[in-house]
Structure 1
C-alpha cells in the first residue's frame, strides 16, 4: 500500500447518522441553489481577476466563507492567526466542507489526489487554484512529490494537507502519515495544526457532515443542506516552529489532533452560540455568524 493511500473504516451505512432535525425541502433546495450560484460565479470571475494579477487572498477567503454559510453551516473559530510566509497547514479530514473552511482561515495551495484534477469543473478550479496533485498509487513518485511540496514551501507558499490520507466520520481520527512532514523539515518552515469538528446544534459530535467510504458528493451535499443546526468548529492550534522536532515521525505525532472523547463533547456543549477567535485572522472574520 502506498504511503499516500491509507484507508478508513468509516462508511455511510455504519457511521453517518440521519439528521435528527431536517430543514424543509424548499429550504434545502435554496441552499444548494445558492452554493451552485457561488461556484459558478467563482468559475466565471476567476479568469477576469487573474488578468489583473494574483487573486487577493482576502477574496478567496470571503468566497469560501460564503459557500459554507450558504449551505447552512455555522462556524466557530478559536486560536491565533497562522503566521505569514511558507507554512504547512495540516488538519484531520472529515468532509468536503474541510476545504472551504481551511481556505477561509488561510488561503493556500491544496494537496490532492491526482484523480481530482480529472473531475469536471472541480478539477479545473483546483488546478487554477494551484493545487499540488499526488499520484497516490505510485510509491516511486513519493520523493518527487515531497520535493515539489518543499519547493513551494521554500518559495513562501502555504500548503494545506490532510495527512490522514482519507476521510473519517469525525468520531475517530486516523494516524497522520509522515511523508508530507518531510517537506516541512526540508524547507525549514513551521507546521500549523488545525482540528476540525462537526456537531449538531445542542449536541455532541455529529456525523451529518462526514463524506466517507462510497458516499457521493451529491448525497453528502443534500444531507448537509437538509441538516439544521450544523456547526463546524475550527481550532487553530499552536504553531510548531521549524527545528523543534528531530524527524518527520516526531513532527507528525506533535501535529496529530487530540483523540475525540468526553472532554471534546463537554467543550462542544458549553455554548449554544459559535465560538469566536481570540485573535482571528483577517480572512476568518465573520465566519462565526449564523446562517
Structure 2
C-alpha cells in the first residue's frame, strides 16, 4: 500500500465500544446473522436482474439488511433528485453501504480488495460497484474520467470521500478527487450524514465502527450482540451543479453541510455555500495579519517583511486536519 493513502488514527482497542453481553446475546446474535446472510444471499441471487428491480424494492431490502443486524434505521432530510448524482457521506461502518443505498440505489465506489471478500464481494460486483485501485496514483485520472462518464449517463454514484473508516467520534477531511468527477459531469452532489447512537436520542456509539485491523467477522458479531443501536441518516440539501467553482470548495461545502461540523471544531458561523469556502475547520483557517500603516511597512526591514509573508499562508494552501478524539 502507498504511503499517500488516506488513513485514520482510530483503532478497535482505543475507539470501539465492546460493553458487556448477557447470556441471551449469543442466541440473538446468531439469529440476526442468519437473517443477514439469508438476505445477502437473496440479493446475490437477484442481482443479475440489475436495473429491472424497482428502486423502491432495493431501498427496502437495504433497510431490512440493517434492521436484521439489530440496528434501527432513521432517515431524515431531503429526497435525492433523479438522474446523475454523486452521493457522499462520512464513513464509519460496513453498515454505511446499505444505508446509503436505502437513500438512493447507486453504484458504489469501492476499493479493489472488496472484490475478493466472500459473498459481499460478489454482491458488490453484481450490483455494479466501481472498483478503484487506491494504491495506484497514476490510475486516478482514468478513474475520475470513468466516474464522470457514469454520472453523465444518468447513474447515481455513492462514495466515501474520507477514504477510510473513522470511529464516529472523530472524522477525517473529504478528499477532493471524486468531486472533480461531479464537476466534469455537471451533476449535483448530495451530502449525507451518518451517525450511530446507543439508543434513540442517546449518545453516539462506536460499536458499529469498522476501523483499523478490525476483521469483518468481529465487527459483524459486535453489531449483532449489541442492544439498542440506532442508525441516523440525515440527507442534507443538494449542492446543484455550478454552485462551486472547483473541487476544493465543493468538497468543503459537502462536508460543512454536515451538522456535526460543530463537534469537529468548525466555526458554527460558517456556511456550506462556496462563497464562504474559506471558512474551514478552526486551526486550519489562515488568520490574516493585522493591517500595518503604509509608512510602517515602508520603514520595515527586508527581514521583517519576509517574516510577515511567512506568517500569512494563502487560503488555498490550508487543509482541514484529521481530527482526533479517539
Q: 1:55, CA displacement in angstroms?
A: 2.4
Give the one of 176, 192, 200 matched to 2:190: 192
* Equivalent-residue separation in structure 2 for 1:120 and 1:12 (angstroms): 22
| Deviation at residue 7 of structure 1 after TM alignment | 0.4
CA contact (8 A) 1:3 1:179 kept: no
Task: Please give the secondary structure, in 1, of the residue aligned with 2:261.
Answer: coil
Superposed CA RMSD:
2.0
Q: Following the alignment from structure 1 to structure 2, what is the Cα–Cα distance between the partners of residues 107 and 32?
A: 23
Deviation per residue, 1:217-267 (Å, 9 max, x gap):
11011110111100111000010010011100000000013336399xxxx
**Residue 148 of structure 2, aligned match among 143, 147, 150:** 150
Unpaired runs of 5+ residues, structure 1, are 264-291
Shift of 1:46: 3.1
CA distance in 2, matches of 1:112, 1:260: 29
Per-residue CA deviations over 1:109-156 (Å, capped at 9, x if unaligned) read 000011112223222211111111111001100000000000000000
Inter-partner Cα distance in structure 2 for 1:234 and 1:168: 16
Give yes or no for contact 2:79–2:235 (8 Å, CA) kept in 1: yes
Q: 2: CA distance between counterparts of 1:71 and 1:182?
A: 35
In structure 1, distance between residues paired with 2:149 and 2:56: 24
Match of 1:122 in 2: 120
Equivalents in 1 of 2:184, 2:216: separation in Å?
Answer: 35
How many residue pairs get aligned? The number is: 260
User: Deviation of residue 59 (structure 1)?
Assistant: 2.0
Change in CA separation of 1:262 and 1:125 when aligned onto 2, cut-off 3 Å: closer
Map 1:103-118 → 2, pairs under 5 A: 103-118=101-116
Determine if contact 1:208/1:227 at 8 Å carries over to the other structure.
yes
Look up the match of 2:226.
227
Aligned partners of 2:110 and 2:131 also within 8 Å: yes
**How has the CA–CA distance of structure 1 residues 18 and 260 changed in structure 2, closer, same or farther, with 3 Å as cutoff?**
farther
1:40-189 correspondence to structure 2 within 5 Å: 40-47=41-48, 49-50=49-50, 54-189=52-187
Matched, 1:31 2:32: yes
Shift of 1:3: 9.8
- Aligned residue for 1:261? 263
Which structure has the higher relative contact order (CA within 8 Å, separation 6+)? 1
Give the TM-score, by structure 2 length: 0.76
Offset, 1:203: 2.8
TM-score, normalised via structure 1 length: 0.85
Superposed CA offset, 1:38-93 (max 9, x none): 1122222334x45xx63222221121111011011111121010011000000000
Structure 2 distance, partners of 1:87, 1:98, is: 18
Return the alpha-carbon distance in structure 2 between the equivalents of residues 61 and 205 of structure 1: 25
Task: Tell me the distance in 1 between the aligned counterparts of 2:20 and 2:110.
Answer: 32
Report the Cα distance in structure 2 between the residues aligned to 1:45 and 1:159, rounded to whole angstroms: 20
User: How many angstroms apart in 2 are the aligned matches of 1:108 and 1:19?
Assistant: 35
Q: Which position in structure 2 is the counterpart of 1:238?
A: 237
Give the match's secondary structure for 1:41.
helix
**Structure 2 CA distance, aligned partners of 1:170 and 1:236?**
17
Separation (CA, whole Å) in 2 of partners of 1:156 and 1:2: 33
Give a deviation string over 1:170-219, Cα, whole Å, max 9, x none. Answer: 00110000000000000000000000000101631110010000001110
SS at match of 1:259: helix
Residue number in structure 1 paired with 2:14: 14
